[in-house]
Amino acid sequence: MKTARGIDARESPDGGSSCDVQRIREDFPILKQLIHGKPLVYLDNAATTQKPRQVIESIVSFYSEECSNVHRGVHLLSERATRGFEATRSSVRRFIHARDDREIVFVRGATEAINLVACSYGRAHVRAGDEVLVTAMEHHSNIVPWQMLCAEKGAKLRVAPMNSKGELLLEEYERLLGPRTCLVAVTHVSNALGTVNPLHEIVEMAHRNGAVVLVDGAQAVQHMRVDVQALDCDFYVFSGHKIYGPTGIGVLYGRERLLESMPPYQGGGDMIASVTFEKTVYNKLPYKFEAGTPDIAGVIGLGAAIDYLQSVGIEKITSHEQDLLHYGTSILEGMPEIRILGTAAAKTSVLSFTVQGIHPHDVGTILDQEGIAIRTGHHCAQPVMDFFGVPATARASLALYNTRDELDALAAALRKVIEVFS
C-alpha cells in the first residue's frame, strides 16, 4: 500500500482548536495512504469514522490472547473475556452518565436498539388509536420501525415539522403532543443537516404529556458531552462505528424501570435464568436483552474507542470540530454555485450541500479522484431531501482528525468540479 505523510494539521489562527491534531492523526493508520495518488482526505465521518490503532490493537489483543466466550466459563480465558466485556459496560455507563450498568444493553447498533424498543416496549404499550411522534429530520432507522409498529397496532405516526434552516419548530411539536401521544422518537443530531435538537425542551414537553422519549444519539456522542440523566430521556441509542469503534456493535440505554417492564426482544442463551419445557425464567437486566453469544471483540473495541475519546477530551473535540464547521461553512458560503442545506443556529460537524447544475454523485466521483471521500445521496433521510426539493446532497462530515487544510483541499476540488461542468 502506498502511503503519504498526509495533509499537515494546524490549529486555527484564533486558537479555536485546542486539539493536537497532528499527534491525533498519527493514531489513525488509514490516514497515511494515498487515494488515486493523492493524500486521503476523509470527510465521510457521519457514515462511519476511522479507527485509531488503540482500537485496532485492542481487538487483535482479544483474539490473540483472551479469545473465549463470556458469562459461561470458569476457566481463566473466559474470566478475562468477561471482565473486559463488563468493564466496557461500566465505561459506557460513565460515558453517557447513566445511573447503573443494568441500564446499558449491547446491541448491533443504533438501528437494532430502536427496533428493540419498538418491538419490546412498543408492542407492550402502544394501542390502537395511540400516536407516535417523530420529527421531519429523522434517519430512516427512526422512522421505519415506528411505521411498522403503528401499522401493526393501528396507531398513528405523526411528524413534527422543521423550518428552512433545518430547525425543529418547537411550537408545532408541542401542539402535536396530546393525550394519545405515547412515545416521542427524536434525533439528537440530524445526520443529513447537522442540526442539534433542543432535547431538554423536547423531553420536558413530552413528559408533561405523559409520553416516553427515545433519542437517536448516533450522530451526537462523538461530538459532544452526553448526560442521559440530565437530559431525562427514557431511551438513548448510539452505534460504536460512528465513535471510532468497530462496526456491528452499539448501545441501548434505557431507564431501569422501563427495561424491567419490557419483554425480551429475542430468546436464546444468556437471556435466561432457567429453562424447562413448561416454563422459562428470564435473566436479570441487562442480560434479558442480550440473547446468544455477543460481539465480544466489538464490545472490547468499543471500550477502547471510548477510552480514546476521553483521553483526547470531549470538550476539546467539540471545540476543534466547531472551528472546522465554521471555517468550512465560510468557504462554501463564498462559492456562489454552492447551496448549503442545514443552517441551524445549533449545529455540529455536517456540511450538506448541492452544486448548481451538477448531480451530487458526479461531485462525489470527481472529488474521489482528488483523494477526497465524502458521502452523496439521500443519507437515509429521504423526507429531508423531499422537504428541500432535492434528490440528494453532497455531505462532508467532520471528525477530530480533520483539519482546515483538508477543508481547503475540499474547496479546491469543488472549484475543479465546477470548472469541469462549466
Say yes or no to pLDDT of 16 above 90.
Answer: no
The region of weakest confidence among 1-10, 159-168, 233-242, 257-266 is 1-10
Q: In the predicted model, what is the mean pLDDT of residues 183-192?
A: 98
Measured CA to CA, the distance from residue 138 to residue 189 in angstroms comes to 9
CA-closest candidate to residue 264, choices 123, 82, 111, 155: 123
- Confidence tier at 6 by pLDDT (50, 70, 90): very low
Say yes or no to pLDDT of 393 above 80.
Answer: yes
Written as one string, the DSSP assignment of 193-209 is: T-BB--HHHHHHHHHHT
Measured CA to CA, the distance from residue 286 to residue 258 in angstroms comes to 12
Specify the pLDDT at position 17: 54
Q: In the predicted model, what is the mean pLDDT of residues 248-252?
A: 98
Say yes or no to pLDDT of 10 above 90.
Answer: no
Say yes or no to pLDDT of 8 above 80.
Answer: no
Per-residue pLDDT of 188-218, as tens digits, reads 999 999 999 999 999 999 999 999 999 999 9
Q: What phi, psi does 291 have (nearest 5°)?
A: -70, 140
- What domains can be seen in the chain, in order of their start residue? 21-51+313-421 (3.90.1150.10), 56-310 (3.40.640.10)
Q: Count each helix (H run) and each strand (E run) in the chain, helices first.
A: 15, 17
Candidate list 19, 119, 150, 380, residue with the active-site label:
380
| 119 a catalytic residue | no
Three cell numbers at 138?
429523522
- Confidence tier at 73 by pLDDT (50, 70, 90): confident
Specify the pLDDT at position 19: 82
Say yes or no to pLDDT of 13 above 80.
Answer: no
- The one-character DSSP state at 188 is S
Per-residue pLDDT of 330-356, as tens digits, reads 999 999 999 999 999 999 999 999 999
**Strand bridging mode 41-42 / 372-373:** parallel
Measured CA to CA, the distance from residue 98 to residue 75 in angstroms comes to 31
Say yes or no to pLDDT of 14 above 60.
Answer: no
Measured torsion, CA atoms of residues 265, 271, 275, 277, in degrees rounded to the nearest 10? 20
Say yes or no to pLDDT of 184 above 50.
Answer: yes
Q: Are 342 and 166 in contact (CB under 8 A)?
A: yes
Q: What percent of the chain has pLDDT over 90?
A: 94
Please state, rounded to an integer, the average pLDDT across all residues of the chain: 94
Per-residue pLDDT of 20-66, as tens digits, reads 999 999 999 999 999 999 999 999 999 999 999 999 999 999 999 99
Per-residue pLDDT of 84-126, as tens digits, reads 999 999 999 999 999 999 999 999 999 999 999 999 999 999 9
Specify the pLDDT at position 98: 98
Per-residue pLDDT of 140-149, as tens digits, reads 999 999 999 9
N- to C-terminal Cα separation, the chain: 36
Measured CA to CA, the distance from residue 87 to residue 98 in angstroms comes to 15
Q: Are 193 and 350 in contact (CB under 8 A)?
A: yes
